Amino acid sequence: MKCYSSRSRTARDAHRHGPSGKREATVWFRFLTRSDVYVYLSSANLRVRHCRRTGKTMSRYDFVREEVILDELSSRGRVTVNDLAERFGVSPVTVRKDLDLLEQRSLLRRVRGGAVASTPRDEGAFESRLRSDAAAKRAIAGAAATRVQDGDVIAIDSSTTAHYLATELISRTGLVVVTNGIHLASFLMERSDATVILPGGVLRRASRSVVGAFTDVLEGRGRVKVGFFGATSVSRSLGLLELSSEEGEAKKALARSCDSIVGLFTAAKASGFGIHAFAPPEQISALYTDDAVGTEFADAWQGSGVDVHVVPVPSRVRNELSETVSA
């Protein structure tokens, strides 16, 4: 929330009279939330004035529902109408209206049965992507780390989920890690005894990775036991995909040297968009995602020979919001 200074006329009036215009003894502060809703907060109550974009007057329960929805999208990447209706104790129609209003303000993207977090047109800065869905990425990384033993030769790409995998492997000894991730290579160099191989190429700042045709660097030098790859999209017919052609080619070069390929991605990527395939389904051994993914995703991969691991994400405690909703 952004707190407006009490020096402003509106905040000063709210302090003096409260949002109703009547003189009150309590102190009032004016806030602008991330959902563009003006909020007046006092020690006695929470009152919502209006949404500055739509002009709609909102109750405090409308506001709380929207904040919970946005918080859930921030941490999990996806929400469903039925789950939200049960959680809030309202009808699915009410939840759909909430989601439609949030989509009008470009705060989420509606999909069948719910909504997913809105994403920028490009891939986004590495630091921003590292923070996004962090709890889910850590859970996925923890589950996938069980595939790595001391002394293994592995490949890890420059994705943020793969970076969390690296944090799970610092206690392993004798690893040989081939990676195109600059951030990941530096982390392993400082925190582990792993031998890190960083193929040459061109530095790509957006993903903090090295890209380019470095296939010849890896060919004829032995095989990599398993490669861990993130993706912007996952397709039953095309496999793992990237949005950037440079990143896709770099990952394809790494994947060619791997005996086994494992995909690591959050639930939002299951319905994401990608252009450049770098690992076809027949080369994939396993997929790891979080429990926000729909059941139809795992169903689509049945009979493919690919093990789909749906990893539970530890619940986030939101006592204050939950108590307000149930009040």
Q: What is the pLDDT of residue 62?
A: 61
* Range in 37-46, 69-78, 134-143, 281-290 the model is least confident about: 37-46
- The answer to whether position 192 is within a domain reads yes
Average pLDDT over residues 16-44: 42
Residues 150 and 267 in one domain: yes
The pLDDT, as a whole number, for residue 34 is 44
CATH no. for residue 220? Answer: 3.40.50.1360
Task: Supply the mean pLDDT for the chain.
Answer: 76
Select the more confidently predicted residue: 1 or 170: 170
The residue from 119, 149, 173 where one domain ends is: 119
pLDDT at 238 over 90: yes
Number of folded domains that form the chain: 2
Residue 166 falls within a domain, yes or no? yes
Considering the domain architecture, whether residues 77 and 222 belong to the same structural domain is answered as no
Q: Check whether residue 12 and residue 142 sit in a common domain.
A: no
Q: Which domain range does residue 230 map to?
A: 126-311
The answer on pLDDT for 164 being more than 60 is yes
| Listed ranges 44-48, 49-53, 210-214, 279-283; the one with the highest mean pLDDT | 279-283
pLDDT at 103 over 50: yes
Residues of the chain with pLDDT > 90, as a percent, come to 37
Residues 133 and 153 in one domain: yes
The length of the chain in residues reads: 327
CA–CA distances in Å: residue 81 to residues 40, 78, 110, 113: 29, 10, 10, 6
Q: Are residues 45 and 169 in the same domain?
A: no
Is 327 inside any structural domain? Answer: no
**Residue 320 domain flag:** no
Tens of pLDDT, residue by residue over 249-272, are 889 988 988 999 999 999 989 888
Residue 11 has a pLDDT of 38
Is position 98 within any domain?
A: yes
Is 163 in the same domain as 219?
Answer: yes
User: 56 falls in which pLDDT band (50, 70, 90)?
Assistant: very low
Could you give phi then psi for residue 234, rounded to 5 degrees? -130, 125
The token pair that represents 253 in the structure block? 């070069």
Question: Looking at residues 153-173, what average pLDDT do you find?
Answer: 94
Domain termination site, one of 119, 151, 166: 119
Residues 91 and 142 in one domain: no
Q: Buried b / exposed e across 136-167, counting CB within 10 Å, b at 16+?
A: bbbbbbebbbebbeeebbbbbbbbbbbbbbbb
69 φ/ψ angles, rounded to the nearest 5 degrees: -60, -45
Query: For position 114, which CATH number holds?
Result: 1.10.10.10
Task: With respect to residue 322, please indicate whether it lies within any of the assigned structural domains.
Answer: no
Looking at the fold, whether 292 and 149 belong to one and the same domain comes out as: yes
Residues 50 and 158 in one domain: no
pLDDT-based confidence at 303, cuts 50/70/90? Answer: confident
Same domain, 210 and 229: yes
Q: Concatenated DSSP letters for 256-318?
A: HTBSSEEEE--GGGGG----EEEE-GGGEEEEEEETTS-HHHHHHTTTTTPEEEEE--PPPP-
Stated pTM of the model:
0.59
Do 268 and 134 lie in a common domain? yes
Q: What pLDDT was estimated at residue 156?
A: 95
